[in-house]
Chain A
Amino acid sequence: MSELFVNAMGDTGNPPEPVTSESSKPRSNPDRNYPDRPDTVYLYGTCLVDLLQPQAGLDALKLLEREGINVVFAEQQTCCGQPAYTSGYDDEAREVALMQMQAMPEDWPVIVLSGSCGGMMHHHYPKMFTGLPEQQQAQAFAERVFEFTEFLVHVLGYQPEDQGEPETVAVHTSCAARREMNVHHTGWALVDALRNVKRVVHDHEFECCGFGGSFCVRYPDISGAMVNDKVTAITDTRADRLISADYGCLMNINGALEFQQHKIRGEHLASYLWERTTGEKHV
């Protein structure tokens, strides 16, 4: 690659940096400036966790409080607006986005329990309000949005003390966590820090599970083909558990796992970390 690179770049190429391999070692994220450890944070549960997997939200809250952080769960929070935005309904998405920013006005970090909603608030809010009076507000808000795992790793330097029995775990990383937020490494790092847990990689792990918001109902057969392949890849690993830090993907994958009568169900990483560090298991 070096030779190829030098030829292609001519004289203007910078000297190559040391090769970094695909490991779970959390890399510094070049896109972000991480703040010092804050006293207080907002916890953003997301609409799917709120209605379908609320325990994950409560576990995240308890975990952050155990680390000595005051957690504010703003009652006015609803949904980040992504479903309307990705369907092309910008005005409708903006109304909802504005409500979220109003619900969390203090200058505290907003910890989001999903890479997908995090990507929406961090990357797309500023774009949505470009040229509008709320542009600065959106930009400032976006700067303090952090995905749950990146906040634990990069801001708190959190190291989980594993109390659980040995087991194997397959991890599904959402596409937005991986490609928009660049936080797949922090999710892996947290799982790898559990000393009795072995993380197993599944086939085509980098590939989308087929959820894609409204995509899965607009094109059910394409989405179905994708989630079926994902389920096969995950169950082929024979992992004891399936973990993800995004409930959107888990709703999709769990629905297909149950449909195909597999026993395993995906759980949110927040709940898994709480369980492994306390021994409390939710049934």
Chain B
Amino acid sequence: MSERIPLHNLSFKERVDRDLNDPALRHNFREAMDFLMDKRKGRFTDDHQLQLLRDRGSSIRKRALSKLPDLLEQLESKLRENGIRVHWAETPEEANSIVLDIARHHGAKTMIKGKSMVSEETELNEFLEHNGVEAIEADMGEFILQLAEDKPSHIVMPAIHKTKEDIARLFEQNLDDCEYTEDVDTLIQSARKELRRRFHAADIGLTGVNFMVAETGSLVLVENEGNGRMATTVPKVHIAMTGIEKVIERLDDLPPLLTLLTNSATGQPVTTYVNMISSPRKQDEDGPEEVHLVLLDNGRTIPYADEEMRQTLQCIRCAACMNHCPVYTRLGGHAYGTTYPGPIGSILSPHLLGLEETKDLPSASSLCGACGEVCPVRIPIPDLLRRLRHEGVRKLKKDEAPVIRGHGAKYTHTEKAAWLSWSKLYSSPAMYRTFALSATLLRGLTPSKMKGWTDYRTSPKPAKKSLHSLVKQYRKQQDQYSEKQAGDKG
């Protein structure tokens, strides 16, 4: 499956068609998502406690966002006090240039990377490679994808679409001294050996960030493989890269969010490593000589300006919404064609990329609500999907400030006209009753083919009489019966 690179020249519907009809992919995702759902459920056994914890997580994130400009200022000055250099990037291009400038300043040739979805968002690896810096992914999943020239299909488990066999072939072809084996431990050990060598040779380490604490000027990074610990301590320079929304106010805010994050993501009470980075190395310490933080906006300030849409930025990237989504489970992540797939991707990507490019994503959901039910910080994902549908089919009023790029990207005169007639029919009881009467009388004429519907189902046939008619008839019978009773008695 190494050829499974998201093809941007395919439309969303074509990608859906491709991935829905791949039985191996369907099977892999169903199994993996079931596994992750069970892991989470096994940790959150007391619903009452879970709901309280979600309340706490939600209010921490809401509070942080409500003070975002102030907290970012505080974070910057604390980080500077601690000796960490802060860079601001409005666009992916700016973020990539900042990283390249740091690399050039140090004459760096290679960069070792911990997992960073923001660097996927900015397509950093391709940019660096183009400019003569080799970026090597050290997270096992990302390492596999890099060898396969593939993209993540899940934000926590990026290579979840790969089978053992895919990986065995890949390692056999690409790693020294690695024979074909389907033994997972052997495969992991081969990759780790290779990565260990790369860590020591790398000039720069780059990672993502899970949380930034404004109060203390700390960068928090959770992981299980140790690649984050290595990337932030072994090379002379560490660059952390993340979105501006990841800031929290106090160190006290961290424990509930960590608990929600790891339990929701993988059902772990805590990850193997929790890295708290508060400065470069001090005298007689290990660690990098320089630490940089690159903070990316990339459209995040657009939803920030709207109170409802702002909730999108509460996300702590646990991926529970993906794991529980019946649509994601059947498609996998590549069909979405965006860095962030699944329900969170469908509400975040339209802000990052504009609705023109992402207009199909908000409607590719049955609004079943499973995502909103599990979201650890209570993002009302179904409501936001609906809101984006609304923004997609409406035109801005004169002088109205846009809340998203690409308003009305999905608007068509035909659909607008259809809903207008629908609305007229259903808000006029007399017209509706005439319609219901003809639908029931002419039920024999119900078309047996209905676009889309009848590919999987028979067409629904109206009943002989509507409920309106049945009730009328029943009331008449009741009246006749009571009249008869009264008559008999009289």
B214: min CB distance to chain A, Å:
19
Contact B474 A9 (CB under 8 A): no
Complex partner residue of A179 from B252, B372, B390, B436, CB under 8 angstroms:
B372
A155: min CB distance to chain B, Å:
22
Contact A17 B457 (CB under 8 A): no
B200: min CB distance to chain A, Å:
36
Assess whether B394 is interfacial by the CB under 8 Å rule.
Answer: yes
Assess whether A49 is interfacial by the CB under 8 Å rule.
Answer: yes
Q: Mark B27-45, 1 if CB is under 8 A from A, else 0.
A: 0000000000000000111
Contact A217 B452 (CB under 8 A): yes
A222: min CB distance to chain B, Å:
6
Complex partner residue of B369 from A76, A95, A175, A251, CB under 8 angstroms:
A175
Q: Mark A163-193, 1 if CB is under 8 A from B, else 0.
A: 0000000000001101110000000000000
Cα-based distance from A217 to B461 in the complex (angstroms) = 17
Assess whether B184 is interfacial by the CB under 8 Å rule.
Answer: no
A4-B269, A5-B53, A255-B459 known; A54 vs B368 contact (CB < 8 Å): no
- Whose C-beta in chain A lies nearest to the C-beta of B466? A50
Contact B367 A78 (CB under 8 A): no
Which of A33-41, A96-104, A141-149 is found at the contact surface with chain B? A96-104
* Residues in A neighbouring B363, C-beta threshold 8 A: 87, 214-215, 218-219
Q: Mark A79-114, 1 if CB is under 8 A from B, else 0.
A: 101011111111111011011000100000000000
Complex partner residue of A219 from B16, B56, B428, CB under 8 angstroms:
B16
B262: min CB distance to chain A, Å:
10
* Residues in A neighbouring B47, C-beta threshold 8 A: 20
Contact A256 B456 (CB under 8 A): yes
Assess whether B197 is interfacial by the CB under 8 Å rule.
Answer: no
Contact A84 B470 (CB under 8 A): no
Contact A221 B457 (CB under 8 A): no
B:403-439 near A, CB below 8 Å: 410, 416, 419-420, 422-429, 432-433, 436, 439
Contact B466 A54 (CB under 8 A): yes
Complex partner residue of A88 from B364, B386, B459, CB under 8 angstroms:
B386
Which of A132-140, A204-212, A232-240, A272-280 is found at the contact surface with chain B? A204-212
Assess whether B263 is interfacial by the CB under 8 Å rule.
Answer: yes
A95-B427, A211-B366 known; A13 vs B52 contact (CB < 8 Å): yes
A51-B466, A226-B326 known; A87 vs B419 contact (CB < 8 Å): yes
- 10 A-B pairs with C-beta separation under 8 A: A1-B45, A1-B46, A9-B256, A49-B467, A51-B436, A88-B391, A89-B390, A179-B369, A215-B363, A216-B453
What residues of chain B have their CB less than 8 Å away from a CB belonging to chain A?
Answer: 16-17, 20, 26, 43-49, 52-53, 56, 252, 255-256, 258-260, 263, 269, 326-327, 330-331, 363-370, 372-373, 386, 388-394, 410, 416, 419-420, 422-429, 432-433, 436, 439-440, 450-463, 465-471, 474
Closest 3 CB pairs of A and B: A212-B366, A255-B457, A220-B452
